Every structure is written in structure tokens, then in C-alpha cells.
Structure 1
Amino acid sequence: MSAHDRGVGAATLKRLRLARGWSLADLARAVIAKAGELGQPLDASVASVQRSVARWESGKAPILPGERYQLLLAHLYARTADGRASLGPGSDFAELLDAFGRLGEGERRLDELRTLIVRTATDGGGALLALLGPSTQLALSTALADPSRLDEELLDAMRLAVGDVNGQVGSVPFVRVQLLLAPIVESCRRLLDAPVPEPLLPGLRAVAAQAYTLAGRAAFETRDVEASRALYTEATAAAGGTGSPWRRALVHMSHALVTLYSTPGIEAAQRLVDAAVRDARAGESPTVRARAHALQAEIAARAGSERHARSALALAWYDMDGDRDGDPAATAFSPVHLRGFEGVTSLYVGDPAQAHDYFARSVQALQAPRERVQHAIVATDQALARIRLSEPESAAELLHGCIDAASATGGRVASIRLRRARRQLLPWRRETWFADLDDHLMDSFGA
């Protein structure tokens, strides 16, 4: 970090403190009190902590607060002076993380802090507007009262908020994802039914499609299939009005995956995947085309059509390896995820040893908190490959970690795949390790 950045970070910390009306000693006392409240009392006097605060805010040589103090400050500034959780853009919490970054903290640590505070903010079932910053909350209230006041700045803020919620998948249970999405979903519904400025409709529909799709998946993961189906219907309609076919392709793909696990057979999922491929080919995102072809390969492999599956995989790699400059959805899919689809193809219509290697490489790469759900799914498929390689006990060892990850996120897809893997292990049901796996599944998911 440059001296200028460090100076800005220190000035931000000082400004946040003064905005609360706190002296150096007041903040020191607040930090000590918060530590006690969290069950992690500080073995330090007010004077000692006050000196630390002064060093963080120094105009000459500011220092980055240590990790423990970062956590305590994050808890303090995650709530407004009147006690409301506020974590979105423009909030004190957002400015605090920016200050830490300017003082030298790394992105990974900042992401961990943000994830932890989001989990804490939603523990009590409140904080519906936690990821909407104060100015966004005000602008949204204004637009809901007078739809003609909707503007691009508010749409951008809503889009960022949906992205923030999406970024919490894998870090927080899906019930909290629903909680965080609720105000955005309802706001989109009300605004789409209102006379908003015509030029802003495509942008509003794009935000709505993204919010409804994520909400549809979260509803499915929490076993509310009817709500999930309705949300996907809304998402499809909203995406269809954006003028960007790739957006509707993303909706179809998400819907296809949950349909695959909620509807007998693969025909319903197949229809959605075919629709996704058509929209992806008509769109301007090579990444979305790659993802659609990868999903097409999985469906074909599950149906036993190796030639079709291999052809779809080749098309997926063609799009993934091609020129993706200017792709509007460049982060929607990656080579790591594509290797997982290669593994699924080999698992169903190829060599299980090859499938295992594909899964192992994919699992090793899927380490980010956001990828925890996908990590559990791919690792479960890796266990299936071990079963087919006549290594059932090794498969069971792998499944224990998958159970922990699926239980932590409340993911239904992962739990369904786990139960299917367990059924594959029934020939070994008299083994002690099988009983241990069954006990773990029962403890985590019930009967």
C-alpha cells in the first residue's frame, strides 16, 4: 500500500469514530465491551486499547489493526448508531473494510470478515435490508413510493446487492440467502408492476431475473418446490424482456438443475437445457454458451448417449477456450467447473478412473467459500467414482466431509446426491464404516 492509501485508511477510521461521537477512549471502551459480549474478553486496559486506536489513526505512520481488533471493529460498525444491521455500499461497515484494505489487509481476509459478519447479522432472523446501504434504502423507498424516480444508480445498487447475496451462497445457509433476498425480490415485483421510466425497464428486468433465479434456487434448496417453480416462471418472463437471450439461458440452466432433482426422469430437465442452449447460441456470451453445452453433456451422459455427451463437451471447451473479451457474463462459468462436467460424463458413459481424476482436480480448485456447495457436489460424485472402482470404504471416508459441507449450507441438491451415493454403498451395509456413515447422515439430515 502507498503512503497515500494508508493515510486515507487512517483518516477513514478516524472519521467513522467521530461520526459516532466517540473519543479515543470511548472507542476503546466500546471495543472492550464488544469483546466481552462476544465471549472473547480482552486482557487489556482502556488506556492500552486507546493507544492502539491512536496508532491505527495516526496521520504519520498508521498501522493496520490486528485480526482480533479487526473482528471487534467489524462487529461494532456493522450496526448503525440505533442498532440496525447495515452492511451494504455506503455503510460504516463497508467503509471500515475499505479502510482495512487501504491499510494493507488482503482481499481474502476481508472476504472472511464480511462473510462472518453477514452470518452474525442474520442469526436472529432480522436484517432484511442488511446488504442494502443507507442511501440505497432511501432511494428504493423513494422509487417504491414514486416509480418515476427509479434511476440507473438505484438499479446498479440493487444489482450489486443481488451479487452480494449470491456471493454468500456456500458461506451461509440457504434460509439466510432467502432472508437477504426478500426485500429485493419484493421490490422488483412492485416496480415491474409500476409505471417506471420505459428506458429503465430492460435493466430492471435484468435485476429481477437475477434475483428471482437465485430466490428460486434457494426456495428449492429449502424444500419449497412450489415457490421455487413460481419464482423460476417469474425469472424466465423477466429475462425474456431484457433483450439479452443469454440472461434467459442462465435462468433455464438453474431451473434445469433443480428440475433434475425434483422431477422423476430427465425429460423435463432436458427440455429446459435445450431451451438454454438455444438462447445461449442466440446470445453474445461465449461463457454462457460453454455452460449450456456442459449441462447438455451431463444430461446426455445420464441418458447413456456418449456420442452426444462428448460432442457437447467439445463445444463447451471450444467456447471456453475462445475469445471471451467483452463477455457480459465472463464469471458465470470456469474451466474448473467444466472439468466437473467432464467427470460426470466419464462417470456415466466412460472410465470411472478418469472421472475420479477429473473430480479430484475440480475439488482441489473449488476452495472459495462461494464454491462450498459445488465442492460438496463434486466431491460426492468423486465418491461415486470410487465406488465404481471397487473402493467403497475410501468413498465413505470422502462422503463424511461432503455431509458436513451439505449440512452447513442446508443444500438440498448436495443432500440428494449424498443419499444416492449412500444407496450405492448398500452392498456393504454390514460393514462398521457403513454404519458410521449412516449415523453421520442421520445426525446431519434426519431420517
Structure 2
Amino acid sequence: MDDRTIGAAMLKALRKRRGLSLADAARALIAIARELGQPCNSLPTATGLQRSVARWEAASPTRPDARHQLLLAHLYGRTPGGAVALGMGSDFAALIDALAHLGESAAQLAELGAQLARTATDQGGGMLTLLSPSTRAGLAAALADPSHTDENLVAGLAAVVSDVNARVGSLPFVRLQLMLTPAVEACRQLIAGPVPEPLLARLRGVSVAAHTLAGRLAFETRDDVASQALYATATREAGLLPDPWRRATVHMSHALVTLYSTHGLTGARALGDAAVRDAQTGDSIVVRARAHALQAEIAARAGAGRQAQAALDLAWFDMERSHGGDPSSSSFTAGHLRGFEGVCELYVGDAQLAHDRFAASASVLVAPREQVQRAIVTTDQALARIRMGDPQSAAGLLHECVRAAATTGGRVPAIRLRRARQELRPWRQEHWVADLDDHLMDVLGA
């Protein structure tokens, strides 16, 4: 059985699990189109749509187009009782899996998930969006008595954290906070209770990931007090796990927000050095490479060129080793490392080399999850162009960064944009700087 046949069978099974006939499914999709304000006169008749549903489930199936995918997403993105459910084990997750088998692109499927998540948070239902119905039921029982915590619940909470992390770049940070909150609070309460010993380490790992991501989201939404408290919890919990690389990931995330939320480099340098120490004794080569890259950036910002280069050399040494079986799920790649190289060249090297490194990094940061990082790298690329004597071209590049920063509401891209704009002060009378200022004001209010 090929992938398309599997996808068709999954769609059929999903419809039947809902107790829908072909005619029922067609009528439901037309009703959803009306609810969404879509022009129903552009949809086929109920009979015609019924034939379409049948073709999607046929032995030689056709794939629903983007419009019909959206209608299917709204149909299966809610439980029969009307609650939004997009997480692992939900009908929506089954729909996404079926569409993937039918050949739909990962980018389109990510956008479909983002659209449903926006709708859920628009309607105030984002708190439990990523918890599957079974996970919700298991969570309620475990919160009443943590000894009832089981493997399915821990896996469900881990999936929520992973799903929120995957949507960075697709949704505003404030919405991601809303979706992550149940997992953070659940981890906090369960770890404080009598969780079965065999599950405790796995639950603590989920808690570390949840609190680290929550610390980053709190920073991005400009709540530094909450961010510091969340990082403190993540650091403490990670210290109770056997492999130090987990604490290294907390230190790295904390170092980056410290770099942008405080004056001076002292705090960020201490956290970066701590990340390197933990990573060197941990089992993750990817985390070790990322820790050295961060250490290189902090050294470069302090003007320590030789230290920055030494750290970069170590990062490349680890990046070029085999990562098979690496315990970290980090997406840190050579493309990300090129961005760190660019920052080092920008501060203690050659602006032209920095520009080329940033361009190489931006060219491979194309996934939805990487759009925030791409905006940061592109802003730094514009800064390199200014220092190369090409400010007008830099201003043009910054327009792209404004759009990316506005999509997520991210704090770091906004900070980088303001710093790049400050470098354009000598040309503030030029019309192209005025155009950039208008764009910044219209979109970011800055």
C-alpha cells in the first residue's frame, strides 16, 4: 500500500470514527464554510462536495485543495463536543498525518496548524488546545492524585511543549504563552506530588523543557521578572537530571535573554561559560557545538577576537562530528553556526565576511520554526551592509525584518532592528530612511 492509499484510508477512518456518512461530511463542510464567512456559492453543491469527499478517500485518491483542507481542519480540529483539540492523539493530528501521506507539503501543514491555533486563541480557547482529549482526562485525574500519572500523560505533556516550540515563528509569542501554560503548571504540580518513581526523570525532563521555553516566551513578551523565575526553576530541575547537557540548554537560553535584557556582558558571559562546562561533560555533541558558538558570540561582543575564534573552532569541530543518536532534539545546524560566525566577524573581524556569513545562514533558515532566527540574522546582515558603506541597500533589507518581527511580536528582532536603525542616523534625511521609519512606526509602533 503506497502513501497516498494510506492517506485516503486514514481520511475514511477519521470520517467514520466521527459517525459521518459521505453526505453528512459534505453538509458539515458547507456549514463550516458559512461559519467562516466563505462564499458558499463558490463551493459545489452538497452532492458535488460529497463526490469530492469520496474522491479523497478513493483507491486512487485526489488530495483536498487548500480551501477544503481548511474546512476539514475546522471540522476535525474540534471534538464532537465542540472543544478545540489540536495535539497528539487528536482527530486534527490524524488529519494532518493523512494529508502528509497524500503528499501535502510540511509548510502547508504547518500553516494549517497555525491557522487553527490562531482561531482557538482568538476565541479564548487556547489554554487546552494542544492537549488531546485523553490527555485532558488523564491530567485531571493526575492533578487530583499525582500517583495516577502514567506514561501517556507524560508523553502528552511532552508533545504540548514540542508543538508550542514548533510554532515559534508561526504565531505571536503571546499566543504561544497561552498554549504552553497548562503544560508548565501541570509539570509544576505533578513533580511536587508522589509521581511514580519510574516516570519522575522523564517528567522532570519535560518540566525543564517547558520552563525553559516559558522563560524565553516571557522574555519575548517583556516580562523579565517572570522570565527569571521560570529559568531558575528550569535550572534547578535540570540539575536533578543525570546528564548535564540538559542544564546546558537552560543556561544557553537564559544567557541569550540576559544578553538583551541587561546592560553589560557579565551575566550573559557567566551563563555561557556555565553552559560550556555542562555541555563538555554531557552526552550531546550538538549542545556542545551550540554552547561554544554562544561563547564565541559573547567573547566577540566583548572585543576578545582570539577567544571568539577559539570557541568557533571548537563549535565547528563538534558540528562536523557524527550526531547519530544524539540525545538532544536541538535543531542547531551548520546554518545556525554560520550566523554566529557572522556576529563574530561583525564585532571583531571583517564586515564583508560577516555579510557573507549572514547571507549563507539566512539562505538555509527557511522552515517556519526558523523565521525568528532568520529575522535576527538578516538584521545583522543589514548592519554589515551599513558598515560596508551601503546604507540604502541595508535599509531595504530591514523592511523584510520589520515584517518578520511583526508576525511574532518577538523582542530580540525588535531590539536588533532598533540598533540597526541607530546606525542609519547619518542618513536620517534620506527618503529611504524615512520610508523605513514609517514602516517601523506602522508595524511595530517604534
**TM-score, normalized by length of structure 1?**
0.96
1:100-249 alignment, distance < 5 Å:
100-249=99-248
| Aligned partner of residue 86 in structure 2, secondary structure | coil
**Separation in structure 2 between the aligned mates of residue 240 and residue 405 of structure 1, nearest angstrom:** 35
Do the aligned residues in 2 keep the contact of 1:209 with 1:239 (CA within 8 Å)?
A: yes
* 1:38 corresponding residue in structure 2: 36
Separation in 1 of the partners of 2:333 and 2:74?
A: 34
C-alpha contact (below 8 Å) 1:212/1:232 kept by paired residues: yes
Paired residues of 2:11 and 2:57 also in contact (CA < 8 A): yes
Is the CA contact (8 Å cut-off) linking 1:170 and 1:370 kept in structure 2?
yes
1:17 to 2:15 alignment: yes
Q: Which residue of 2 aligns with 1:357?
A: 356
Equivalence map 1:230-309=2 (5 Å): 230-309=229-308
Say which SS state the counterpart of residue 85 (structure 1) adopts.
Answer: coil
Amino acid at match of 2:370: E
- 8 Å contact from structure 2 (residues 117, 126) kept in 1: no
**Kept after mapping to 2: 8 A contact 1:246/1:280:** yes
Distance 2:152 2:282 in 1: 26
Aligned to 1:412: 411
Cα separation, 2, equivalents of 1:442 and 1:106: 35
Cα deviation for residue 432 of structure 1 reads 1.1
Cα distance in structure 2, aligned partners of 1:108 and 1:387: 33
Compare 413-422 and 142-151 and name the one that shifted more: 142-151
Q: In structure 2, do the counterparts of structure 1 residues 303 and 101 end up closer, same or farther at CA, with 3 Å as the change threshold? A: same
Name 1:313's counterpart in structure 2.
312
User: Alpha-carbon deviations, 1:196-228, whole Å to 9, x = none?
Assistant: 122322211111110001000000000101000
The answer as to whether partners of 1:294 and 1:312 remain within 8 angstroms in 2 is yes
CA RMSD for the aligned pairs? 1.5
Distance 2:157 2:186 in 1: 10
Distance in 1 of aligned mates of 2:285 and 2:245:
9
User: Which deviates more, 199-208 or 302-311?
Assistant: 199-208
Give the match's secondary structure for 1:128. Answer: helix
Counterpart of 1:10, as a letter, is A
Change (3 A) 1:404 1:238: same
Contact 2:85–2:128 (CA under 8 A) maintained in structure 1: yes
Deviations 1:376-398 (A, max 9, x none): 10000001100100111111111
Distance 1:104 1:380, change over 3 A: closer
Give the structure 2 partner of residue 389 of structure 1: 388
Shift of residue 8 of structure 1? 4.0
Counterpart-to-counterpart distance in 1, 2:53 and 2:131: 29
- Deviation for aligned residue 1:188: 0.6
Identity of aligned residues (%): 62
Instruction: Judge conservation of contact 1:28–1:46 (CA < 8 Å) in 2.
Output: yes
Name the stretch that deviates more: 387-396 or 89-98. Answer: 89-98
Work out whether residues 84 and 127 of structure 1, in 8 Å CA contact, stay in contact via their aligned partners in 2.
Answer: no
Equivalent residue runs for 1:42-57 within 5 Å: 42=40, 43=42, 44-57=44-57
Name stretches of at least 5 consecutive residues in structure 1 with no aligned partner: none
Using the alignment, how far apart are the partners of 1:103 and 1:426 within structure 2? 52
Displacement of 1:123: 2.1
Contact 1:296 1:312 in 2 (8 A): yes
State the Cα distance separating 1:365 from its structure 2 match.
Answer: 0.9
Alpha-carbon separation, structure 1, partners of 2:94 and 2:293: 40
- Alpha-carbon distance in 1 for matches of 2:21, 2:199: 46
Q: Is the 8 A contact 2:308 2:344 kept in 1?
A: yes
- State how far apart, in whole Å, the 1-side matches of 2:294 and 2:101 are: 41
Query: Per-residue CA shift, 1:81-134, capped at 9, x if unaligned?
Result: 222100112211111122222333343332332222222222223221111111
Q: Which amino acid aligns with 1:20?
A: R
* Distance in structure 2 (CA, Å) of the matches to 1:290 and 1:120: 38
- Give the conservation status (yes or no) of the 8 Å contact 2:87–2:159: no
Match of 1:424 in 2: 423
Counterpart amino acid of residue 375 in structure 1? R
Q: CA deviation at 1:6?
A: 4.1
Residue identity matched to 1:196: V
List gaps (5 residues or longer) in structure 2.
Answer: none
**CA deviation after TM superposition for structure 1 residue 330, in Å:** 5.2
Deviation of 1:363 (Å)? 0.8
Letter in 1 for 2:290: R
Residue in structure 1 matched with residue 87 of structure 2 by the alignment: 88
For 1:332 and 1:46, locate their aligned partners in 2 and report how far apart those are by CA, in whole Å. Answer: 45
How far the C-alpha of 1:159 sits from its partner, in A, is 1.2
In the TM superposition, what is the alpha-carbon distance from 1:7 to its structure 2 partner?
4.3
5 Å matches for 1:299-378?
A: 299-329=298-328, 331-378=330-377
User: Residue type matched to 1:318 in 2?
Assistant: F
| 8 Å contact from structure 1 (residues 285, 330) kept in 2 | no
The aligned amino acid for 2:33 is A
| Contact 1:294–1:341 (CA under 8 A) maintained in structure 2 | yes
Q: Structure 2 counterpart of 1:223, which letter?
A: R
Are the equivalent residues in 2 in contact too, given 1:31–1:72 (CA < 8 A)? yes
Distance in structure 2 (CA, Å) of the matches to 1:428 and 1:35: 51
Q: Distance in 2 between matches of 1:6 and 1:398?
A: 41
Following the alignment from structure 1 to structure 2, what is the Cα–Cα distance between the partners of residues 446 and 70?
35
- Bigger drift between 310-319 and 41-50 goes to 41-50
Is residue 166–residue 214 contact of structure 1 (8 Å, CA) maintained in 2?
yes
Change beyond 3 A, Cα 1:348–1:37: same
